[in-house]
Structure 1
């Protein structure tokens, strides 16, 4: 067992040149755009050339509701990918890029952990290949062009009280949530209320992650609604004539990033919408390309299965025409204990009763995922302090729910530790038992879609929304947007909208505070409870401990 930190393990990795990793997938040097020696973008021409190939098997990794004890979803995704390759399968990993906001806030990194990581770890968690900067820049260009249009005479007759396009920055900055823009007199335009979201909540991010190519991206960007006129008719980004220049800024960002795991297996790291306030999956172009290049593709969806997996199934799979062959639900003994009411400080003590009490959260996720018609395996992400009796309690519970649980020790042992999980997952994926269907049909009214998710996934009694919100949804339906799926913006910590309500609560309501139409991305966002589309930093942000050491290396990312 190791006492090395994640970053020390990552730094000691023996990486292969990225051209060799590309070669493993049949991607020639001409089709790779290297960013240094250990990361590269894959050309659109190569992606187009794979279209006629058959698809591999798609494996989705999701989890229980996150707790401060940690679940290790990305770590399991990476460990399972390495495990599949180690048992002789041709497998590839697809994960999201990390946002600077949470890196400097709570999380401190998003590339896996222990001996199940994607490298280069520092670059992936910082600027990487500049994709998020490009998204921020494209978004900011549109923001500037909207206000500029109004300043120079407002030919489109935009009602400046109804500009719905907010600004973005890739940082947790609560001071920017609500601002007043264009102060300072005639030279600066017309004062109006505005606000910032975090870049990963930008509709530009969602468009990039759901687009199939640059032409589709430009179409989606043009379809984004930026404002309304006094007669309530929408003004689109294409009316502002911003879609072409935005696409130019996003030209390279649209190409998937190829990197490798610690065991030199290929991974696409591309796109990164948050799962609590956006749709929470890596890009469609990365996933669909990986399915052409490997026999098994392991991908993850953000946070718990009530958010990430639900949106993966109802938004990403629906839009991309793909379906998971197997779902892996990650749980830890520690998290079960926390759900069972044990404080974080006491998690080291054996407590089988608390494990059993906390399993209700896991059970509900198993049932929810099965309701999509897909087989579920529980991966018990092993921590060194877990007792055999505690592990057995989880296994027994999962069997009682009509599923199976497999212990995976990838964090400590890499692919050796995940071989059992990989073997079983491959068997299930190959068996063809998946009978996937989204939770609701396109033609269901928007509010009913929200109710369906709230009742069937969150097990709530009702959705609360005032007349203004219901009328807004009806207006959108009349404008032809009723067929869109819904993206619920909700706390990740609970099935309810109350982050302190752990376990498997019932009898709760889901208050919808606001709805936003993402006409370019192709979904309607329902902002539920107190969720913020611009997070704040915690009292002691991770940034306080991130620095360069005397050797010029990054410390404090984990």
Structure 2
């Protein structure tokens, strides 16, 4: 069985462990990074936002010898510190512990004497109250204050929802006030947004209030993490760049099919004003006092799936090691990190591919079981069979020039025979692996992993994107389909091919690709496990996210507004005697 060195913590919830922690004053955490009192603005106990001057100073220092525009550099694109990207194998819907591993690895590197900085995404309320739970880590590897981070935090996501709503309101007001730009109400691309899972709002009709209620039209909602505005915030380098990106957002087409932008509506400045404070990175700490930036939160199956570029740049500049994460598996988050983020100077020196016995068994079985009971059964052969999927994810990051290290996120009830079977299978493939017990033991449980990662990061590496920006849109999609997902062919349906032609005619064909597909299979069919072969990637929509600076390629039937499960986590969350309970 797995380690049981901390049986008391195994019986205690993440929330209880977080409440018993003794966080350091946030000013002391900032001082570890060379930040003084004038560089941070306290936002409650244990939380601070960096000032704009501090952001400018840190990013300017870090960009002096930064990476190249094409995403490749002789030293992996590193500025001052080394960057470690935490990604994973194909996960189950409950997640396999990338944030836990990110936090724990940062703590382990700190224990080895390195000045480590952790960077993660802000939790979305959708998963918090849905099936996946919070995103502040867990056990002895959390970022604090856990309750605040998982709920309202510094209000960044609320600001994004408000800014998104302002742009929606300006658009409908323009239609109501005479429509000087000639917007075609049937060709409005900009949806509405909210930060909860609500399937009833996926498709709606607005403007039904008579002559004073606006122009009736079909509309839809997306979850805030899926908004292009979230991607814009995540990729902006400074406030001027943020405003320029907001202005480029295509909100609709006019009657002639020409794009209408946020700048055309005259509200790019107002939207930026609502996002000014949200642009500033949030500084917190791990449960062991390691500095952590928690900032931004785009989903990787819909957008690029990383925390903000500005937080990574600050952290890389101020630390020896930046440990940052990308959403879902290497086929989504890590691929986009290399093809989108690395082209802006943040290129990883090593990648950690997180696996769990649970996910390995899920990928080793012929099909997804009806519930998790089957995955709880001891089955070393299923775990071994699932290594094919894990190895594919390791090879994905390796194919892009990033050395991989597999981290087996050990759960307390994992069987030793299963763990040994996985390690043996990885050794046969010559893939470095370390067990991680950071959930149970904090940094101490990640020392082996930290040493393996440090060895990998110190080797010379060259990040190499799989496609050039000058390739055609179809060539880029085909490259990802073949080299990353393992597809044999690509099929374009529902007018997607025509959309590509229009995008290239508009001069947007040189943007990177952001594929929106299921995270639960390497293919676009969540029921296909392992490493599917001989299948065809189905592309049903291609659209420009001109503000974010990439093209969104939607496959199969990906939802941009998730629904709640039959038993949502919200049913177990309560307030008792003034204290929140059930948050995990």
TM-score when scaled to structure 2? 0.93
User: Pairwise mapping of residues 391-406 of structure 1 onto structure 2 (< 5 A)?
Assistant: 391-406=419-434
Query: 2:356 matched to 1:332?
Result: yes
Answer whether contact 2:94 2:132 (CA < 8 A) is retained. Answer: no
| 1:389 shift after superposition | 2.9
For residue 52 of structure 1, report the CA deviation from its aligned partner. 2.3
The whole-number CA distance in structure 2 between the counterparts of 1:20 and 1:283 is: 23
Q: Which one of 235, 251, 257 corresponds to residue 232 of structure 1? A: 257
**Mapped pair 1:211 → 2:211:** no
Match of 1:35 in 2: 43
Contact map agreement 1:108 1:556 (CA 8 A) in 2? no
The alignment status of 1:23 with 2:49, answered yes or no, reads no
Q: CA deviation at 1:390?
A: 2.1
Structure 1 regions of 5+ residues with no counterpart? none
Give the one of 501, 518, 522 matched to 2:545: 518
1:76 aligns with 2:104: no
Alignment of 1:282-293 (within 5 A): 282-293=307-318
Determine the C-alpha separation between the residues in 1 that align with 2:261 and 2:359: 45
Aligned ranges 1:114-193 → 2 under 5 Å: 114-193=139-218
Paired with 1:346 and 1:336, the residues of 2 have a C-alpha distance of 12
Name the CA distance, whole Å, in 1 between partners of 2:373 and 2:566: 19
SS class of match (2:299)? coil
Q: Cα offset for 1:68?
A: 5.0
Structure 1 residues 460-482: Cα deviation after superposition (integer angstroms, max 9, x where no partner): 12222137211211111121101
Runs of 4+ with >6 A deviation? none
> How far apart, in 2, do the equivalents of 1:485 and 1:400 lie?
35
User: What residue is the counterpart of 1:468 in the other structure?
Assistant: 495
Corresponding residue for residue 427 of structure 1: 455
Contact kept? 2:489, 2:537, Cα under 8 Å: yes
CA distance in 2, matches of 1:373, 1:484: 21
- Computed over aligned residues only, the root mean square deviation of the Cα atoms, in angstroms, reads 1.4
Partner of 2:89: 64
**Structure 2 unaligned runs (5+)?**
1-5, 63-78
Distance 1:205 1:467, change over 3 A: closer
Equivalent of 1:495 in 512, 522, 537: 522
CA-CA distance at 1:263 after TM superposition: 0.1
| 2:143 and 2:284 in contact (8 A); partners too | yes
Deviates more, 1:239-248 or 1:43-52: 43-52
1:207-252 deviations in Å (ceiling 9; x for gaps): 0000001000000000011111111111110010110001110010
1:109 paired to 2:117 = no
| 1:484 and 2:492 matched | no
Aligned residues: 555
On the 8 A contact 1:181/1:192 being kept in 2, the answer is yes
Whole-angstrom CA distance in 2 between matches of 1:52 and 1:323: 17
Alpha-carbon deviation of 1:554? 1.1
> How far apart are the structure 2 equivalents of 1:98 and 1:394?
31
Aligned to 1:322: 346
C-alpha deviations, 1:2-38, integer Å up to 9, x for none?
A: 2111111011110111111111111111111111121
1:441 aligns with 2:468: yes
SS at match of 1:379: strand
Report the TM-score when normalising by structure 1.
0.97
Partner of 2:323: 298
